[in-house]
Structure 1
Amino acid sequence: MNDTLSLNTRAILLLTAPLLVGSGSMGYGGPAAEVLHLGEYKRLARRLRELSRQPADLLAADGEALCADCADIVEPERLRRLLGRGFLLGQAVQRWQARSIRVVSRADAAYPARLKGRLKENSPPVLYACGNLSLLEREGLAVVGSRNADDALLDYAAGVGGLAAAAGVVLVSGGARGIDEAATGGALAAGGTAVSVLAEGLEPRALRRENRNAIAEGRLLLLSPYDPNAAFNAGNAMQRNKLIHALSNAALVVCCDAGRGGTWAGAQEQLDTLRLVPVYVRATGTRRDGLEALSAKGAHPWPEPADPAALTALLRHPVAAPPRVQALSLLDAAATTPPEPTTE
């Protein structure tokens, strides 16, 4: 992590981050000093832009006057309490540095351009990262699915991860057990790269022995919009799903249940609202009702690219998938020679 934070990042952290410095610590400057949620920060950032100011100006000599200018957005006293948590921020920064955790804000050049460009002001104000941030600039394939998956589906996901590694494509997933971990593990085992966008704080993951080598080698990035010491939260998991898709060129849903679960919610949001990337669903093997429902919403059948070149072509030029009978599945018992991939 950088030794110092930019003034803008410092201000954004003070305004939006809980600054958890220990297990069970609330980290707030007082019971009423509630951090700004995304909607509040969006409105505040918009007001600052209208005034030709930036978050760092709230910490300047005329910060009191600027807080008053934003009184209809956030109560000035609340802003003062949040901005006055400098000592707590210093403690948090020391803890992050000791664990090689870096923080970037939307005001920093290191913030992922793809995320900011696609989600705009809905992108998280700050991101916590451990690992190689440059992985976010490369082509990525999101692979997502249910936590409870049988061995055949786990092997399938690992195989897709291995293909992504062979193609030099970053495997993007949510880091959850089941399909996410299998796909990530397949990519890393094959010498590839992966990004895990976590729904909880990344500090415990960053300290895991099985992650340390891949992080040190620059092949794994742990990323989270939530405090490094935050516990898992189902609502956070739902919100972070859009980040997985937004950081990728395409998304493959291996399995999910219709109408419930984070995998379903994230894919549905892409198909119905955001439409940031093409969404594919596994087209072969035993399928849950969720994949059929996503297909009805417009998800494409995964064409089972046969080699790294086919996967790269698919990500760069998404096309209609070939008929299901022509696709070679990692789950199919009989191995046949697949057709050449369709091109634009």
Structure 2
Amino acid sequence: MNGSLTPNSQAILALTAAFPDDRDSPSEAEPLSAEEYGLLAGRLQVMEASPADFLGRRAAQLFRDSSDLFSEERLKALSMRASRVEAALRVWSSKGIWVLTRSDKAYPRLLKVHLKEDAPPVIWGGGSIDIVRGGGFAVAGKASKDPSGEKQGLKHGELAACSDITVISTGKVGAEAAAMRSALKNRGLACQVPAKALDNYDSNPSWKKLLDSGRLAIVSPYPPETPDEDISEQDIERTAMALGDCALLVNADSEEDSAWLAAEELLGKYEGMRLFYWDSQAPNPALAELIDMDMQPIPEFRGVVDFHNFVQGPPPAPAAPAAHKPGQYEEVPPEPGAQAPGANPPAEITDPVLLLKLDALRREVAELAATEGMTGGAVLKTVISELIAEGRIDPVIGVIIEKVGYSQPR
């Protein structure tokens, strides 16, 4: 991604990012924050200009036209940093870190949807970019080893993995770490927005193995060299939640906790974010305030199909068959009720309850089969997971059926 840097991305990095060599080549100006860049981006839209124009012939005029927001001297000094962008990219790339700016097509759409003008102008990450930009189910909560909170993380992490939905969290101890651990254990995908500099993960063999496997991604709105004490946990929680299609808040019992503060910000300042809470039935004044802001309780899911539809919406309806054209070859359909030669007639089911359940199962399988990219193996796995969740079959038997009941084409 870093090898195809656009002029707009180069300008955004110059205006907003700290570089690895800042200690050796300090800038005369402080880089723009996310909120400051949001103001500047809005001004550029009004002027029908782009960030790259700060590096071209229109630069002098743009400095003057934006002087009511930021001083001309600050914008000039920041623009001059564009010559150092390539060197910074080489350092980050050598550590396996990629960079995306708000002008890149691969930049996560949900960050812009949920955070609007405050979406980070630049994000750094490792692992699969597709995981980061693909949405998912975010789990947030205070750092706590409370068993009930961890149980919620484990349960929803497994549901997400079985539903091919990415788990997103900062990874701190408690429900967040449990959800990520459960997702990866069940061969699912996870995206972590750590409250530590990405440099900390560069030399960790176990993390590198997971990142290289394509099942884990890490991402941060902070440059990789940022000291840990300069990273805002509230900002990190907000970014993690905003990367998801929706988010679950666990153990939100303190108005001083970073997850609670991030949830309040998403509900109050930005709106439009689907946030849910786990109801522990214990008195919780802090949670009551978020409920007043329209945070909803997380429902109990009947299985992976129910969970998938909750997070991403129901699958599209099957396309109607194309109309027959004159002269078009068409296989002669069998007569109603006709059977293949030698086939045994199916056993007739007369129990009305069984008929209703069979009809519901047929509808679910039809929806799964119609889902784009859903293979026969994935359909079988999902149906088996549903039956196990409902207690209809033993989990061991389900695994055996899954392994031997569907052969992938060679």
What band does the TM-score fall into relative to the shorter chain? 0.7 to 0.9
Find the counterpart in structure 1 of residue 150 from structure 2. 154
Structure 1 unaligned residues grouped into runs of 5+? 319-335, 339-344
Q: Aligned partners of 1:231, 1:159: CA distance in 2, in Å?
A: 34
- Whether 1:12 aligns to 2:12 is yes
Any conservation in 1 of the 2:210–2:216 contact (CA below 8 Å)? yes
Which has the larger displacement, 254-263 or 35-44?
35-44
Correspondence 1:53 to 2:68: no
Indicate yes or no: 2:214 matched with 1:218: yes
Query: What amino acid is the match of 1:201?
Result: A
SS of structure 1 residue aligned to 2:171: coil
Taking the aligned partners of 2:233 and 2:149, their CA distance within structure 1 comes to 22
Letter in structure 2 aligned against 1:54: S
| Alignment RMSD | 2.7
What is the deviation of 1:213? 2.2
Q: Deviations over 1:78-123 (max 9, x none)?
A: 2222222245433321111111111111111111122223333221
CA distance in 1, matches of 2:5, 2:308: 37
Q: Deviations over 1:193-250 (max 9, x none)?
A: 0111234432213442222222112211211111111123477221233322222222
- Write the distance in 1 (CA, Å) between the matches of 2:297 and 2:148: 19
CA offset at residue 290 of structure 1?
Answer: 4.1
Structure 2 stretches of 5 or more lacking a match? Answer: 315-388, 392-410
CA–CA distance in 2 between the matches of 1:177 and 1:273? 27
Q: Does 1:276 align with 2:281?
A: no
Say yes or no: does 1:312 pair with 2:308. yes
Structure 1 contact 165–193 (Cα < 8 Å) conserved: yes
Partner of 2:26: 29
Letter in 2 for 1:117: V
Q: 1:198 to 1:189 in 2, by over 3 A?
A: same
- Output the amino acid matched with 1:37: S
- Following TM superposition, by how much is the alpha carbon of 1:27 offset from its aligned partner in structure 2, in angstroms? 6.6
Q: Note the C-alpha offset of 1:285.
A: 7.2
Deviation per CA, 1:248-281, whole angstroms, max 9, x where unpaired? 2221112122311111112222333433333222
String of CA shifts for 1:42-79, please: whole Å, max 9, x gaps: 23222222222211111124433432333332222222
Secondary structure in 1 matching 2:218: strand
The one of 258, 274, 282 equivalent to 1:262 is 258
How far apart are the structure 1 equivalents of 2:231 and 2:244?
Answer: 22
Question: Counterparts of 2:245 and 2:190 in 1: how far apart (Å)?
Answer: 14
Once residues 198 and 251 of structure 1 are traced to their aligned partners in structure 2, the CA distance between those partners, rounded to angstroms, is 17
Render the CA deviation track for 1:133-175: whole Å, top value 9, x for unaligned. 2124435111111112234432431232121101111101123
Which range moved further: 264-273 or 214-223?
264-273
Deviates more, 1:309-318 or 1:142-151: 309-318
Q: Answer whether contact 1:161 1:184 (CA < 8 A) is retained.
A: yes
Contact 2:163–2:305 (CA<8 Å) still a contact in 1? yes
Q: Distance in 2 between the 1:179 and 1:128 partners?
A: 25
Q: What's 2:122 paired with?
A: 126
Q: TM-score, normalised by structure 2?
A: 0.69
Seq. identity, %: 29
Which of 205, 208, 229 is the matching residue for 1:209?
A: 205
Which of 280-289 and 154-163 deviates more? 280-289
How many angstroms does 1:284 deviate by? Answer: 4.2
Pairs aligned (count)? 317
Secondary structure of 2:228's partner? coil
Deviation at 1:12, TM superposition (A): 0.8
Equivalents in 2 of 1:239, 1:58: separation in Å?
28
Does the CA contact (< 8 Å) of 1:246 and 1:276 recur in 2? no
Question: TM-score, normalization: structure 1?
Answer: 0.82
1:255, 1:288 within 8 Å by CA — same for their partners in 2?
Answer: no
Question: Could you tell me whether the CA contact under 8 Å between 2:100 and 2:106 is conserved in 1?
Answer: yes
Alignment partners' CA distance in 2, 1:70 and 1:274: 25
Query: Aligned AA for 2:242?
Result: A
Structure 1 residues 110 and 189, CA gap change in structure 2 (3 angstroms): same
Q: 1:28 to 1:76 in 2, by over 3 A?
A: farther
Q: 1:28 to 1:224 in 2, by over 3 A?
A: farther
Once residues 267 and 74 of structure 2 are traced to their aligned partners in structure 1, the CA distance between those partners, rounded to angstroms, is 38
* One-letter amino acid of the structure 1 residue matched with residue 105 of structure 2: A
**For 1:107, which of 88, 91, 103 is the aligned residue?**
103
Q: 1:39 aligns with which of 35, 41, 54?
A: 35
Cα distance in 1, alignment partners of residues 230 and 43 from structure 2 = 31
